[in-house]
């Protein structure tokens, strides 16, 4: 069985960077945005819309097709939207299983720790204090330069709330609960690069 590492992370905690560095050090596949791209192909929905669904962001009132055409709410209303959510999750599960069966890999987010439990993954959760997350967001994303600390804090909390809601809905477990993971990493105390090197050394 291939080695599978899943990484759950708070927004701005550096979980994505940790995953990339760890994948390089362990010489294994790394999957993050590639998952959304593949789901979009299979469901014929736009990547942005799929991303909203898997992050369970609020404010989704209409689907966006591959052609990027906007449509009003489908006549079937809520039932139609629920079917799309279910379809996206089902394809997500298929994509993750295929990736895990293909080779050793690190997968970020997307309920991978739950979906791939049959693969006995090493389940990591990455978190950090709010000040560190705000600082990391400012350093990594130009689009947040115009936001005040208060506004950026609100954005971080909103995204994490969406992730928690999505995770709880499909797994029945509480997102970020240490009992759901094998290792919880505080990226405030240890630089991401050093953390990745230490983890790689242990796993090797």
Residue 55, pLDDT score: 66
Contact present, 166 and 54 (Cβ < 8 Å)? yes
Residue 56, pLDDT score: 60
Tell me the pTM: 0.82
Residue 184, pLDDT score: 94
Residue 2, pLDDT score: 94
Q: Domains plus CATH for the chain?
A: 4-203 (3.40.50.300)
Residue 74, pLDDT score: 46
Express each pLDDT in 125-156 by its tens digit: 999 999 999 998 888 766 556 788 999 999 99
Residue 139, pLDDT score: 83
Express each pLDDT in 52-74 by its tens digit: 776 665 444 333 333 333 334 44
Low-confidence ranges of the chain (pLDDT < 70): 54-81, 141-145
Helices (H), 27-175: 33-43, 47-55, 78-102, 112-115, 130-140, 149-171
């Amino acid at each position: 069985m291939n080695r599978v590492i899943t990484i759950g992370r708070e927004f701005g905690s550096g979980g994505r960077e940790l995953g990339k560095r760890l994948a390089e050090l362990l010489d294994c596949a790394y999957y993050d945005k590639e998952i959304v791209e593949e789901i979009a192909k299979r469901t014929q929905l736009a990547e942005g819309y799929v991303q909203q669904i898997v992050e369970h962001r609020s404010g989704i009132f209409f689907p966006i097709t591959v052609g990027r055409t906007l449509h009003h709410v489908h006549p079937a209303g809520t039932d139609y939207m629920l079917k799309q959510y279910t379809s996206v999750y089902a394809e997500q599960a298929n994509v993750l299983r295929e990736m895990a069966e293909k080779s050793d890999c690190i997968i970020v987010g997307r309920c991978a720790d739950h979906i791939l439990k049959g693969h006995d993954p090493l389940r990591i959760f990455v978190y950090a204090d709010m000040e560190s997350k705000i600082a990391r967001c400012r350093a990594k994303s130009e689009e947040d330069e115009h936001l005040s600390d208060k506004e950026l804090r609100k954005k971080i909390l909103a995204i994490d709330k969406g992730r928690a809601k999505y995770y709880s809905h499909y797994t029945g477990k509480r997102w970020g609960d240490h009992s759901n993971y094998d290792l919880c990493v505080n990226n405030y105390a240890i630089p991401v690069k050093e953390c990745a090197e230490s983890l790689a050394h242990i796993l090797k």
